[in-house]
Structure 1
C-alpha cells in the first residue's frame, strides 16, 4: 500500500496541538499518520515524550500508521479500530484522563482516493464501494440498488447539495444495477442538463459521489456525535482541531463550536440573563483557517479545507440532551 497521503495544513495543526498541555493527543481520523507523526515529533521536542491514541475505522490505515509511528523514539502509541464517534468510549475504556489535544481530519483521504479498488474516485475505474471501513453496513452499489426515486433524490440533495438531484436520481435508477465508479460517473454526467458543465466547477459527478460517500459511512451523524465527546474528553487548556472539506461538515463544526462557546441562550428580549449557561470552550481561530498559497500550489486537494479550533475552558461540561446542533 503506497502512502500518497499529504497532511493538509500540517504546520497549522502542529502549531495548535504542539503547545497543548502535557498529556495524550487523540488523532481520531488517523489515516496514514501524517498529522500524527508531525504532532508527535513536535511534542517530543517540547516535552521529551509524547502519548498518542490513534483512531481509524480502516484496518489498512492503522497498519500503515503503525509502521510509520511504531518505532518513533519517545512516543507511547495506542491504536483503536473504531469509527471516530466512539472516541468517548475509547477514552473512558482506556482510562485516559489527560487528553490534551484532539484532531479530526474529516472527509476522504488521498490514501482512499488514489486507490481505485476502494471506489471513492470518479476519475478512476473501480468497484462502487466507498466504505471507509468494514463496519459500514453496505456499499454504495448496494445502497443505490435499495433506494427508490424519492429516497435517492433526498440523499443527493441533502448530502451532495446537487441542484439537479431528481434528474440525476432518475438516470441512476434507470441505469441500475451500477457496480463501477466509471459507470456511475458516466450516468451522472449524461444526466446533466445542457450548459450545466459550463456553470459548475469540477467534475459533474463530484456532488453525487460526495452524497453517496456520506450516506454509506454515516459521516455527518458521526460528526455531530463526536464533537460533544471531544469537548468533554479534553482537560482544561486542551485543544480540539477540526479540518472540514465541504460546507455541510464545516457548518456543523461552526455551529457546534459557537454553541459550546456561548455564555447565554436566553431569548433576546429577556432583560436579564436567566439561563446560567457557562461556555466550555474558547475559539482559537476567529475565522476558518485556509491553506497558504504555497500549500495550494503543492497540494491542490487542500483547496476546500476549512480549519477551526477551540480550547477547553476550566468549566464543567453541561448536561446535553441530543448533542450540539
Structure 2
C-alpha cells in the first residue's frame, strides 16, 4: 500500500450529499480509489446501511482492507462489473472517474511524465498489457488513432510516426523517454500544458478501456438503481463528461416510435438533477480538481 503519496478527494461533501437519500440504503462506490467518498458515506449510514465498493487497483484493495466495518465490502473488479449486482438493489451509485493522486505521483505506476518510471499505466497491474508492450507492436495508424480519438491531439500522426521511428532503433520503456519523444513531435501546445499531456491521457484511457467501461457501467446503473435512487458521476475531461451528459439526456425523455404512432412511448428512466463544479476554494486548495464536473441524476419509477 502506498503511504507516501496522499490523495485529496474531489467534491467529497458534495458527492456524498447528492448520493445519500436514506441512511438505511445500499450504496455502490464503483471507483473506491483511496476511499475518501466511502469513508464519509459510511460515517453517515445507519446500522442497516450497506456500502459495496469496486476497484481494479491492487493498491486500492489494500487501502480498503484498513476499513474494519461490517457494513462495507469491496470487490477487486472494474466498475463495469456493477451489473453483476442484483437488479434494483442500489439506493445510490457513485462513479468518480479521476485517476488518484497516488497513481499519478508514484513513478512506478507510469501514469505521469513528471518523474521517470516504467511505461505501464494499467489501473490493474495484475493483468493486461502495459502501454510499453502495446506500443512495441501496434502499427502507426493504430497509435495515431488512439492519440487522436482519446487525447484529442491534433499532432497525433507526427507523434505516432516518431514513436514508430524510435522503436525501430530501441524499445520505448520509460515515461521520460516517451515524453521527450512527444515533445519533439508536438509543434505547439496550450499555455501551461506539457506537450505530452494529451498523448499520456490517450494511452491511459485506451490501455484501461476507460470509456468502454464507463458506457457499460452507466447502462448497468439503470437496472441496478431502485426508484428514486441516485446516480452521481464525477468526470475530469470532456470525453468522459460528454458520455455522461448524453447518457443522462437520452434517458431523461420519453421516446416515441414514429413507425408505431399509437404505441405507448418508452418512458423516461432518469431525471437530471444537478451539475456541480468545485468551488474556487477547493480548486485553490487542490488544483487537480479544476476540471471536475459532477452530474447527478435520479432513477424514475420502474415500470
TM over 0.5: yes
TM-score interval w.r.t. the shorter chain? Answer: over 0.9
1:112 corresponds, among 96, 103, 109, to 103
8 Å CA contact 2:24–2:48 kept in 1: the answer is no
Q: Distance in 2 between matches of 1:65 and 1:273?
A: 52
1:300 corresponds, among 287, 297, 301, to 287
Please say if 1:57 is aligned against 2:56: yes
SS of the residue 1:304 aligns to: coil
8 Å CA contact 1:239–1:312 kept in 2: the answer is yes
TM-score (norm 2): 0.93
8 Å CA contact 1:278–1:315 kept in 2: the answer is no
- Structure 2 segments unaligned to the other structure (5+ residues): none
Using the TM superposition, give the Cα deviation of residue 139 of structure 1 relative to its aligned residue in structure 2, in angstroms. 0.2
Q: Distance in 2 between matches of 1:241 and 1:273?
A: 35
Distance 1:235 1:4, change over 3 A: same
Which residue does 1:36 correspond to in 2?
A: 38
8 Å CA contact 2:276–2:294 kept in 1: the answer is yes
- Structure 1 segments unaligned to the other structure (5+ residues): 317-325
Using the TM superposition, give the Cα deviation of residue 273 of structure 1 relative to its aligned residue in structure 2, in angstroms. 7.2
SS of the residue 1:261 aligns to: coil
Distance 1:135 1:38, change over 3 A: same
8 Å CA contact 1:57–1:135 kept in 2: the answer is no
Please say if 1:183 is aligned against 2:177: yes
Which residue does 1:204 correspond to in 2?
A: 195
Using the TM superposition, give the Cα deviation of residue 243 of structure 1 relative to its aligned residue in structure 2, in angstroms. 0.5
Q: Distance in 2 between matches of 1:161 and 1:296?
A: 24
How many matched pairs?
298
8 Å CA contact 2:119–2:132 kept in 1: the answer is yes
Distance 1:280 1:135, change over 3 A: farther
Using the TM superposition, give the Cα deviation of residue 289 of structure 1 relative to its aligned residue in structure 2, in angstroms. 1.4
User: Which deviates more, 250-259 or 130-139?
Assistant: 130-139
Please say if 1:291 is aligned against 2:278: yes
Which residue does 1:85 correspond to in 2?
A: 80
Which residue does 2:68 correspond to in 1?
A: 70
8 Å CA contact 1:136–1:217 kept in 2: the answer is no
Which residue does 1:141 correspond to in 2?
A: 132
Distance 1:9 1:31, change over 3 A: same
Using the TM superposition, give the Cα deviation of residue 250 of structure 1 relative to its aligned residue in structure 2, in angstroms. 0.6
